[in-house]
Structure 1
Amino acid sequence: MSDLPQTQTDLENQTYLSHLVELRRRLVRAGAALIVAFVGLVYWAPDIFRLLARPLMQNLPEGGKLIVTDVTGSFFVPMKVTMLVAFVIALPCVMYELWAFVAPGLYRNERKLIGPLIGSSYVLFLCGMAFAYFVVFPTIFRLMAHYNAPLGAEMTTDINNYLSFVMTMFIAFGVTFEVPVVVVMLTRTGIVSIAKLRQIRPYVIVGAFVIAAAITPPDVFSQLILAVPLIVLYEAGLIAARLIAGARSGDTRAHFDVD
């Protein structure tokens, strides 16, 4: 009898160690994918940075330019941008390794749900970044250049500050475009009902403008660029949740009819 608890403890320790070994293996693979993507892109780091800076450079007034105030900025900033692009490219592999690690502990219906959600989350995040790059950046930079003109100020931006601003906008709009996934998850798991999400719609609208005011530059137009998509995506999430709920109820009725 005294050997049984020891045996159970040994089995638990072995299981814990096997999980750690598996996690390390998955992390190494994900890290290797990131490194391979970075190495493949590093030669074009200056070109990648110029591509990132294009929305600003196209909207600067005559004489406006990017500057470097840090001794190592001209080297490390393009490297950071390249690492960001490499991470976006390698993200499907990183997400797959994460999925492969947690999948054995999920039920079959959870596996069916998580797979499409991960894929849609990646696509929506890319859509948010693209919206920021092609719509938000040109609009904001054009407005900022317009505000500077009456002041007679020369518009010059340090590349480190520009990268910080761009990263903030990419993350903000990438996360904003995840709203439909969040809504579907909340309703699918039963945390919040669709009726409740409809009921709190006025608070969501107010919250969207509060978030936009906290993230975007202090002008109404820039805030609308973030707040309006956030509200639209919330409504899209409600529509998707209703469609999924209708499909599930249809499947359930078909199942009972067959039985």
Structure 2
Amino acid sequence: MTNLHRYYIEFKSRSLLLIMTWVSTILVSYLYKEILLFLMIEPSLNYSNQNMLYFIFTNVTEIFTVYLKIIIFVGNHILIIFTLYHITLFLSLGLYKSELKNITFLIKTSFLVFILSVNFFNNILLPLSWSFFLSFQSFSFLKSIDLYFESKLNEYLIFYITSYYLCVTYCQIFVLLISFCKYLKNNLNQIKQYRKIIYFSFLVMSTVLTPPDIISQIVLSLNLIFIYELLVYNLIFQLVIKKLKH
């Protein structure tokens, strides 16, 4: 048996495991679909204590469609996690220890940032978004006129998933910053050389990820630059402390 055939067998086996994992996750998620729906609605229901928020549906198949989107949403998350795990195992035997260590660090950091971003989205960002957008339903000058909000369940799910992916994507940018600073920790000259390129990359990412308005692009770019400079100064501080000890 040639090495190429062995790679093919291993790739086929791991792909089959991933497919089985995705299918089993979909089946289990379907059994607990009501709980999953409640977990996605709960951050908004906490806000509804003051605003009587509720959800409606206007199509007989809408609730089933919502459940289907939720279980696929959960299944894709599990699939991505296990795919990264199998890719790491598949490549580990052909990597140096330093390379494997860097990849492991990158995956662990990305997973930690992912957990923090999910908690940030559900506990802070989503309630704040409700507070901001629903603040426009009342007129400050015309007290006799009010706008009443009735959210469709399907539209809420679209809003939740879209906002969720944007939040997670923004937070994963910090993983790249941490990894880049870790890569340049022994060479401060490269930090100076790449500073303009990094700033331009922040601007490009902000343009791609934010809505098409200049304010959002500037705000996100400044935040990324500020966090990057904090990481750089922290790196310089560590290098200075290390030199003083020696």
TM-score (norm 2): 0.72
Partners of 1:237 and 1:170 lie apart in 2 by 26
Residue 178 of structure 1 aligns to a residue in which SS? helix
Distance 1:102 1:231 in 2: 33
**Aligned equivalent of 2:94:** 105
Partner of 1:177: 171
| Count of matched residue positions in the alignment of Structure 1 and Structure 2 | 231
CA shift in 2, pair 1:94/1:203, >3 Å: closer
Distance 1:211 1:152, change over 3 A: farther
Query: Is the CA contact (8 Å cut-off) linking 1:177 and 1:230 kept in structure 2?
Result: no
Matched, 1:234 2:234: no
The 5 Å alignment of 1:55-134 reads 55-60=43-48, 62=51, 64-89=53-78, 91-134=80-123
Specify the code of the residue in structure 1 equivalent to 2:153: I
- 1:161 shift after superposition: 2.2
Instruction: Summarize the alignment of residues 1-259 of structure 1 with structure 2, pairs less than 5 Å apart.
Output: 14-60=2-48, 62=51, 64-89=53-78, 91-150=80-139, 152-186=146-180, 193-196=190-193, 198-199=195-196, 213-214=210-211, 230=224, 233-235=227-229, 237-238=231-232, 246=239
Q: Is the CA contact (8 Å cut-off) linking 2:177 and 2:228 kept in structure 1?
A: yes
Q: How many Å separate the matches in 2 of 1:119 and 1:184?
A: 12
* Deviation by residue 1:73-94 (Cα, 9 ceiling, x = unmatched): 2013123223333444565433
**Residue identity opposite 1:169 in structure 2:** S
Contact 1:37 1:86 (C-alpha < 8 Å) held by counterparts: yes
SS in 2 for 1:111: helix
What is the SS of the residue equivalent to 1:57? helix
Residues 194 and 242 in structure 1, CA contact (< 8 A), matched pair in contact too: no
Q: Distance in 2 between matches of 1:101 and 1:243?
A: 37
Structure 1 gap ranges (5+):
1-10, 255-259
Q: Give the Å deviation of 1:189.
A: 5.7
Aligned to 2:142: none
Shift of 1:49: 0.8
- In 2, Cα distance between the equivalents of 1:147 and 1:189? 47
CA RMSD, 1 decimal: 3.8
Distance 1:40 1:229 in 2: 40
- After superposition, the C-alpha distances for 1:98-138 in whole angstroms (9 at most, x for unaligned) are 11122233233211110121121112122112211111110
Q: Please, which moves more after superposition, 114-123 or 145-154?
A: 145-154
Q: Unaligned regions of 5+ residues in structure 2, if any?
A: 140-144
Amino acid of the residue matched to residue 214 of structure 1? P
